[in-house]
Each structure stands twice: as structure tokens, then as C-alpha cells.
Amino acid sequence: MASHWPENVGIRAIEILFPSQYVDQTELETFDGASAGKYTIGLGQAKMGFCSDREDVNSLCLTVVSRLLERQHVKHSEIGRLEVGTETIVDKSKSVKSVLMQLFAESGNTDIEGIDTTNACYGGTAALFNAVNWVESSSWDGRLALAVCADIAVYAKGAARPTGGAGAVAMLVGPNAPLILDRGLRATHMEHAYDFYKPDLSSEYPTVDGKLSIQCYLSALDTCYRLYRKKFDQQQKDTSKQPASLSTFDAILFHTPFCKLVQKSVGRLSFNDFLLSSEEERTKQFPDLERFNTATLESTYFDRDVEKAFMTQSANIFASKTKKSLLLANQVGNMYTPSVYSGLVSLLISGPAQELVGKRIGLFSYGSGLAASMYSISVTQDAAAFEKFVSQLDYVQPLLNSREKVAPEQFSALMEVREKNNHAAPYTPTGSISALFPGTYYLKDVDALHRRTYERTPTISNGVH
């Protein structure tokens, strides 16, 4: 049976989008009256991207999908499945996917499966898995799939506000991909929790129990990692390869609500490796940590000694396998569903492509409420194909550098406009159109029946940005 599957199914192209405006986190500390260093050092955030009332989840997805198809010269008729993952809901019935079908109207291609998936920041991973599963299934008709994730992460004034952000990612999925999802190596953990949720359908803001959300994130990480290790070891059992550990990955990426949590997460995985290692391995690989021999996972989510010891122990691993993936998270903030995929883009643009050829990347995706998966991606051995794939991302750093800084006062005023007019109808947004990047779809207006109309800022010469 396996021989009939298409080979090397995964990500053939990836496109990222972030807001054209940001607020500086040092300035935000002062504006909010927070102690200096709380957002920048304590949370590890430098800048936070945000959208005015000119952008919503539909416009972000229209922009990112258009750009991907244009940049990759993919015909609309070549797409057979389109999945959207988002938690930014503007309509309780009409999907974002159905809005995106406007882009396919001219081509006449309406034969496109897939719809929206929602569970906090996990929807993007569900979209990607659905797209990959379709290509590997008996339903596949030989065309390509698109997995799209987009969110506007905004919080009410208070402790959570500096952990906002926004963005969108579109991934073209098909066989013979440069980034191949490893078969049989997905470890999932789902359970019921009220750590972060959006029960007030009239508001964009979540209800958050910050501390509980961190505990849920770390405990889902523990469970997924242990399960991944088990599945990896089962797959390798006929070979003499080392059992799974942090060494299994050449890079390891995480859903990133704020960068500091990711550094702690690498420490947490190292703590898991420690607890799962033999006495002999402990002495060799974890010198001077025997005082934690009797520590348990459950009792240590907020244990400062364990946290500090294993962050120190794993500092080199963090520096070599994870830090590069935090570029966009540090500069834009939490994108919710695209977050872990912004980590993938950050890694891809962070150094010479050759260094990643043939390597294994681990990914941890977390959505509150809660749904989480750890899985891995193998980078193709075809260096030329991979370099070409990565070179398509050459626009990311210049685009990031070209953003406009906005004062916290103006950011706060724009948040109030969003807050006041969320779901207003009829409504004409007031946010600046000239501040948007070229080729950006924006909300033109909402009519009395809540129907949204979008327009696009002019593209520049190559038709893309």
C-alpha cells in the first residue's frame, strides 16, 4: 500500500505576511507604566505588529493567498484543496475559506475541498495536517493543496496586551516537497481546559488565565514530547539509531506566545530527557543535576530551581537549535495560528540554506483549550531545490525592515477604534490605507447586512509586493 502513496509530501512553498505597523515594546513598557525590561527582557519581545480597522482575518488571508499564488506562479486551477486555520472569527457561519473563493472565481475553479478549522492557535496545524492527509489519501486528485493560517492577536489593556501580534502564513502542500512531513511521527495531546478562550462573541479579546495557560502549554509539551519520543523509537527499532532526545532534532521550533516561554520550553524538554535517561546517561550528560533525581513533571511547572537549572543545561541547544526561529516572534509578536510557521520562516531565512539540507526540524504546536501536537519535518537532500525554495523568502527581511513604528498612544487609540467598531454595521473603516504594504487587501466597508467588501493596494512592478 505504502508504495502507492505520493512520495515526500509536505510544504512546497511558504508565504508570510505581517502588519506594516508596529509598536516598540520598550516604549510600551513606559506607556503602560510597567517596570523597565518587563516586556523586553521578562517576556523577550522587541516589537509588536498590529492591524488597524482596515484589516481583518479575511483581508489577511486574501493577501497571503494572492501573494503565494503570484510569487510561485501557481494557476488557480492547480489547487484542489484549501484549508484555513484561524481563531479570529468575524462570522459564526460563513467561513474565511468561502471568502477566499473570490480569488478563484475568474479561473472557474470551484472544485476545491476544505473549510475552516478553529481551536485557538492550533487551527493552522490542523489545516496543514488536513492538507497533507488529503494528498496522501484516496481522495487526492493529483492537484496541490493550500494550508492557510491567520490571526489578529489582541488583548484588553493589562498584563496580556504586550503578548499580542498579528500575521498570516500560506503553505502550498504537495508531493516532492523540500520540507517533508515525517510519516507516523505526529504526537498529539488534547484535553478540556479553560486557560484561554473567547466566550464573548461580541469582543475580539480572549478571557485569559495567564498562569494556567503557561502550565497547560508546558504540560502539553511534556506529553507530546514523550509520545513523539516513543513513536520515533518504535519507528527506529530495527536500526541501531540512538533513542529520541533533543539530539534527534537539528532545529526545534515552538508555538511562541512570547519568546521567553520558548527558552523555558527548551529547558523543559531537557528536563524530560533527564528524567527519561538511565543513571549512567545522567552522570555523563547531566552532571551536577542529581539533586533533581526525584523531581516530577507535575510538581515543577513553576519550580524556579528546576527551570533555571535546565535552562542553563540547555542554553547551547537553545542557541543552536531554536533561537534563530524566534526572529519574527520577537519582532512581530504572537500571531496565534501562524506562530509556529513564522518560526519556520525565521529559521529558513536565518542562515545559509545548505546548513539545513537533509536536517530534521521538530515543531510543537499549541492551541489553548486545548489542542497540541509535536511532529517533525525532514528537509530534502536536494540542495539545489532547497536553495531555490528558501530564496523565495528573500523578501521577508527587507519587508520587516520597512515597517512603520507607531507611538503607543496611537496604537492604543487604534485598538480602541477596533474595540468600539467590532461587528458594527454599516461601517466604513478609518485606518490609513497608505500605511499598508503594496498588494495588501483591506476592508473597504461593511454594509447594513454585515457584508464585507475588500479592495487591494496597488502592487509594485513584479506584481507581488
Annotated binding site: 213, 260, 264
Nearer to ligand CAA, 46 or 435 (CB): 46
| Nearest residue relative to ligand CAA (C-beta) | 42
Angle, helix 25-32 to helix 408-421, in steps of 10 degrees: 80
Nearer to ligand CAA, 118 or 334 (CB): 334
d(CA 456, CA 465) in angstroms, rounded, equals 11
Piece in contact with ligand CAA (CB under 6 A), picked from 6-14, 63-71, 159-167, 169-177: 159-167
Angle, helix 304-313 to helix 259-275, in steps of 10 degrees: 90
CB-based contact 62:100 (threshold 8 Å): yes
d(CA 152, CA 419) in angstroms, rounded, equals 13
Q: What are phi and psi of 445, to 5 degrees?
A: -165, 170
- CA 382 vs CA 73, 135, 178, 250: distances in Å: 21, 21, 8, 17
Piece in contact with ligand CAA (CB under 6 A), picked from 17-25, 51-59, 169-177, 206-214: 206-214
Is 165 one of the binding residues for ligand CAA (CB under 6 A)? Answer: no
Is 308 one of the binding residues for ligand CAA (CB under 6 A)? Answer: no
CB of 124 to ligand CAA, least distance (A): 12
Nearer to ligand CAA, 6 or 42 (CB): 42
Judged by CB under 6 A, which of 175, 210, 243, 431 binds ligand CAA? 210
Interface map 380-399 toward ligand CAA (x if CB under 6 A): --------------------
Is 38 one of the binding residues for ligand CAA (CB under 6 A)? Answer: yes
Nearer to ligand CAA, 121 or 349 (CB): 121
- CA 167 vs CA 124, 164, 319, 333, 423: distances in Å: 12, 11, 25, 9, 20
- The site for ligand CAA, by CB under 6 A, has a size of 27
Is 249 one of the binding residues for ligand CAA (CB under 6 A)? Answer: no
Burial of 392 (0-12, 13-18, 19+ CB in 10 A): middle
d(CA 322, CA 253) in angstroms, rounded, equals 6
Piece in contact with ligand CAA (CB under 6 A), picked from 30-38, 109-117, 124-132, 390-398: 30-38
Piece in contact with ligand CAA (CB under 6 A), picked from 128-136, 253-261, 353-361, 401-409: 253-261
Residue 224 neighbours by CB distance under 10 Å: 21
Interface map 255-294 toward ligand CAA (x if CB under 6 A): x-xx-xx---------------------------------
Is 368 one of the binding residues for ligand CAA (CB under 6 A)? Answer: yes
State the binding site for CoA. 213, 260, 264
In DSSP notation, 32-101 reads HTPPTTIIIIIS---EEEE--TT--HHHHHHHHHHHHHHHHT--GGGEEEEEEE-S--S-SSS-HHHHHG
Is 366 one of the binding residues for ligand CAA (CB under 6 A)? Answer: yes
Judged by CB under 6 A, which of 214, 227, 399, 435 binds ligand CAA? 214
Grid cell digits, residue 193: 481546559
- Give the residue numbers annotated as catalytic, written as ranges: 87, 121, 255
Burial of 404 (0-12, 13-18, 19+ CB in 10 A): exposed
Beta strand pairing call for 165-174 and 144-153: antiparallel
Judged by CB under 6 A, which of 35, 278, 401, 434 binds ligand CAA? 35
Binding to ligand CAA (CB under 6 A) within 118-157 occurs at 120-121
CB-based contact 384:369 (threshold 8 Å): no
CB of 355 to ligand CAA, least distance (A): 29
Nearer to ligand CAA, 119 or 378 (CB): 119
Judged by CB under 6 A, which of 22, 217, 225, 437 binds ligand CAA? 217
- Can you say whether residue 33 is alpha, beta or left, with left for phi > 0 and alpha for psi between -120 and 50 degrees? left
Q: Using the 8-state DSSP alphabet, how is residue 167 labeled?
A: E
CB of 29 to ligand CAA, least distance (A): 8
For residue 271, give the 3-state DSSP assignment: helix
d(CA 88, CA 183) in angstroms, rounded, equals 30
Q: Which residues bind ligand CAA (CB under 6 A)?
A: 35-38, 41-43, 120-121, 159-160, 163, 196, 208, 210, 213-214, 217, 255, 257-258, 260-261, 334, 336, 366, 368
